[in-house]
Amino acid sequence: MIIMLNLFKPFYPLFFASLKGNPESAHNQALHILHNIQSQRDKTWGRWIIQQLENSFCVNYPHLSQSLWNFNFAHPLGLAPGFDKNAQGAGIWSSFGFSFAELGAVTYHSQEGNPKPRMFRLPADKALLNRMGANNQGAEAIALRLQETWQKQERTIPIGINLCKSKITELNDAKEDYLKSFQVLKAHADYFVINVSSPNTPGLRSLQGGEQLEPILDTLQSHNQGEKPILVKIAPDLENEQIRSIIKVSQQYQLSGLIATNTTIKKEGLQTKILNETGKPITEEAGGISGLPLRQRSTEVIRFIYRETEGKLPIIGVGGIFDTESAWEKITAGATLLQFYSGWVYQGPWIVPDILQGLSRKLEENNLDNLSQAVGIGVNN
C-alpha cells in the first residue's frame, strides 16, 4: 500500500477535482472510512493499513521538535479544527504525520448547522468557502466517543478541542455554555481553544471584545485552575487596537496562547467571481474564506502579536499554508506551531512530509540547530 500511496500522489489533483460536486458529502465519507479504520486497529487489516499510512506520511526530524505546555510536539504541523468536528478520526491523525490535532468546533448543544449547500471549493483561489454553522453532535456525544477512543489506544500526540458557543445560547449566557462544554470534555483532551471568531454563528465575533471576552475567560480559568492550556482563536479581520485588547485580556487571564487566524469574511480580490453552485457573486455569499487568500493577512496578525507580546505568548499560526515557504514565513513571523486544513485538502496528505523536509532544509540553510530558534527571527530583521 505504501507503493500505491506514493504512486497515487501525481494523480491526486485529478482525484480532488472529481470530488468537487459535493465537497461536504466527500468529506463525510472520508471521515467515515477513517473512523472505521481507527476502530478496527486491533484487527490485522486495520493494523496493516495504519502501518502503511505511517510509513508514507510520518517522518522524523528531531531538530523540528519543540516542547510547549509540558507536551512534546515532534514538529510544528497540526490539523486545524473544522476537519474532524465530531472526533471521528481522533486516534488516526498521528498516522497521517500530524504532531497534534484540534477537533471541533464543539458546542454544548448538538446542532445541525446552516442549510446546505454550505461548503464550497474555490480552486482558482486554492480556497474554501464554508458557512457550516458549527454543525456537530454536541459535547456529551463527542466526550463519549473520545472516551471510547482513548480506552482502545493511548494518545500519541497532543489533542486539542475547539469550543464554540451553541447557536441557541444567548450571547449573555455564553460563559456558562463554554463552561459546560469544557467540563464535559476536559478529561478527554490536552488543550482547549475558545472560538469567538467564527463568522458562521450569529453574533459570535462580538465576543472578541475585551468586555465580552473577560467573563468567558474568568469563568473558564476559575474552573480550570491552570490544569489545561487554554487559548483563544481570533479573526483576521480585526484592527490592531482590537487585537491589542485581546492580547491584554489574554495576559490578564494567563492564557496559554493565541491562534491566528480564523477564516475571513472579506471576499474582494478573489479570482472566483461567481459561485457556480448558487450563481451569485462571491462577494454576496455568506461564510468564511480559508486557504491561500488568507496567507498574507494571517502572517501579518502573527507578526503583530509577536511584536506586541515580545514573543512571550505562544502563537499557533494558521491560514494559507500550502508549502515550505508559507510555513517558514509564519514561523519566522512568530508562530511556534502551525495548523492547516485547506492546504491538506488541496495538496493531499503528502504535504506533511514535504513541508517537514523543507523546514529541515531551512534550518540548515540558516545555521540553526532547532526550530525554536527560528520562531520570530524575521520580525525585527
Average pLDDT (281-291) is: 97
Express each pLDDT in 292-309 by its tens digit: 999 999 999 999 999 999
| pLDDT for position 9 | 73
pLDDT of residue 2: 44
* Beta bridge pairs of residue 20: none
Q: How far apart are CA 343 and CA 326, in angstroms?
A: 10
- Can you give the pLDDT at residue 21? 65
Sheet of strand 119-122, all strands in order from the earlier edge strand to the far edge: 119-122, 127-130, 288-291
Q: What is the pLDDT of residues 351-365, one digit of tens each?
A: 999 999 999 999 999
Report the pLDDT averaged over residues 274-281: 95
**CA–CA distance, 345 with 322 (Å, rounded to integer):** 10
pLDDT band at 20; cut points 50, 70, 90: low
39 classed as catalytic: no
Confidence (pLDDT) at 14 = 62
Has residue 381 got a pLDDT over 60? no
pLDDT tier for residue 148 given thresholds of 50, 70 and 90: very high
The pLDDT of residue 204 is above 90: no
- pLDDT for 116 beyond 90: yes
Task: Give yes or no for residue 37 having a pLDDT over 70.
Answer: yes
Q: Per the structure block, which three cell numbers stand in for 39?
A: 476502530
Residue 207 binned pLDDT confidence (cut-offs 50, 70, 90) = confident
Query: What pTM did the predictor assign?
Result: 0.95
The confidence band for 344, taking pLDDT boundaries of 50, 70 and 90, is very high
**Which one has a higher pLDDT value, 58 or 22?**
58
HEC profile for the chain? Answer: CHHHHHHHHHHHHHHHHHCCCCHHHHHHHHHHHHHHHHHCCCCHHHHHHHHHHHHHHCCCCHHHCEEECCEEECCCEEECCCCCCCCCCCCCHHHHCCCEEEEEEECCCCECCCCCCCEEEEHHHCEEEECCCCCECCHHHHHHHHHHHHHHCCCCCCEEEEECCCCCCCHHHHHHHHHHHHHHHHHHCCEEEEECCCCCCCCHHHHHCHHHHHHHHHHHHHHHCCCCCEEEEECCCCCHHHHHHHHHHHHHCCCCEEEECCCECCCCCCCCCEECCCCEEHHHCCCEEEEHHHHHHHHHHHHHHHHHHCCCCCEEEECCCCCHHHHHHHHHHCCCEEEECHHHHHHCCCHHHHHHHHHHHHHHHCCCCCHHHCCCCCCCC
362: cell is 531551512
pLDDT-derived band at 1 (thresholds 50, 70, 90) equals very low
Calculate mean pLDDT across residues 200-215: 85
What percent of the chain has a predicted confidence (pLDDT) above 90?
Answer: 87
Round to whole Å and give the CA distance between 180 and 140.
10
Instruction: For the beta carbon of residue 19, count every other beta carbon within 10 angstroms.
Output: 15
| Nearest-angstrom CA–CA distance, 203 and 336 | 30
> At 85, is the pLDDT very low, low, confident or very high (cuts 50, 70, 90)?
very high
Q: Taking the CA atoms of 285, 293, 351 and 333 in sequence, report the sign of the dihedral they define.
A: negative
Whether 335 has a pLDDT exceeding 50, the answer reads: yes
Match 465519507 to its residue by C-alpha cell: 29
pLDDT at 205 over 90: no
So what's the pLDDT on residue 15? Answer: 61
From the list 95, 99, 197, 198, the catalytic residue is 198
Average pLDDT over residues 114-137: 96
Residue 17, pLDDT score:
66
**Which sign does the torsion angle of CA 51, 55, 57, 60 carry?**
positive
